[in-house]
Structure 1
Amino acid sequence: MNRTEGPSETLHVSTVAIDGHAVLLEGPSGSGKSDLALRLIDRGAVLVSDDYTILTAHGTALIAHAPSTISGKIEVRGLGIMPMPYVDAVPVALLVRLEDVVERLPTDEMRVIAGIVIPEIALIPGEPSAPIKVELALNRELG
């Protein structure tokens, strides 16, 4: 893979790493990004960044980083900002858009971030099965 650094974007997403692959959790404030991240972490994921993530193109890969001001921190509603083990520089494999309603049988969607095409799905974040659905979607994308 080409390691030349390319364009960069900062998105309002929380990001976790599952088996070395970053999953972006996108939604407005209060939509459940940090809560879903915590539930994924409870299932073995590792925090990359909470609330905002820097995404940089490196060759054909999109790499996720936490802004230095929030590295290793996650907001836990009702408890405040908490320290959390984290990883950095993780290649992005999936974007999960958090919505109130999703299609029963969605079509394949893609998003271009910093010039890199990333698969995108929509999920209802508060559903008990949401963490499992994220893992299933990631496994599907990875083949």
Structure 2
Amino acid sequence: MPTDSSEILHATAVAVAGRGLLIRGASGSGKSGLALEMMARGALLVADDRVIVSLRDGALWLAPPAPLSGMIEARGIGLLNAATSGPVRLAAVLDLDEVETARLPQRRETMLQGQRIPLLHKTAHPYFPAALVQYLKGGRKE
């Protein structure tokens, strides 16, 4: 897959309906755990621990480094095999180091390889993984 540019990020990525979510945060912040919760609700793994982010034809794409493809870490259990989505277009970035305090937050964006991408922050609600799956399925009403 030829790219305009690419980089490998310490992150995890999942996909729903062909839309990718890049989950970033400090080591131990729960990236893999959240991905597992989303996978239990129908998301597919793109990559765990390391994600290749590539700019191609004006869009950002997510893919796993070959040695990590199809595996996700479950603390206390080990490396698990997982169905993967293959490369997927990035729809949003979730930052687990920032906590969302607003009930209906304003739309946020982050820059990644010169592209504006919707930015989400974590919440402590038990339905958060399900809400993220629905966000990827249908987007957000403005």
Q: The TM-score by the shorter chain falls in which range?
A: 0.7 to 0.9
Over residues 64-113 of structure 1, what are the superposed CA-to-partner deviations in whole Å (9 max), with x where a residue is unaligned?
A: 01011111110001011111111221000011111363221433221221
1:78/1:85 Cα in 2 relative to 1: closer, same or farther (>3 Å)?
Answer: same
Q: Is the 2:41–2:133 contact (alpha carbons within 8 Å) kept by the matching residues of 1? A: no
2: distance between equivalents of 1:23 and 1:43? 14
CA RMSD, aligned part only? Answer: 2.1
TM-aligned CA deviation for residue 136 of structure 1: 4.1
With normalisation by structure 1, the TM-score equals 0.87
TM-aligned CA deviation for residue 53 of structure 1: 0.4
1:142/1:89 Cα in 2 relative to 1: closer, same or farther (>3 Å)?
Answer: farther
2: distance between equivalents of 1:30 and 1:37? 13
TM-aligned CA deviation for residue 11 of structure 1: 1.4
1:115/1:4 Cα in 2 relative to 1: closer, same or farther (>3 Å)?
Answer: farther
Equivalent position of 1:8 in the other structure: 6
Q: Is the 1:109–1:121 contact (alpha carbons within 8 Å) kept by the matching residues of 2? A: yes
Instruction: Tell me which moved more, 126-135 or 110-119.
Output: 126-135
With normalisation by structure 2, the TM-score equals 0.88
1:1-143 maps to which residues of 2 (within 5 A)? Answer: 5-99=3-97, 101-104=99-102, 105-124=104-123, 127-138=125-136, 139-141=138-140
Q: Percent identity?
A: 34
Question: What amino acid sits opposite 2:95 in the alignment?
Answer: R
Kindly tell me the number of residue pairs found equivalent between the two proteins: 140
Q: Is the 1:57–1:115 contact (alpha carbons within 8 Å) kept by the matching residues of 2? A: no
2: distance between equivalents of 1:29 and 1:122? 16
1: distance between equivalents of 2:141 and 2:44? 18
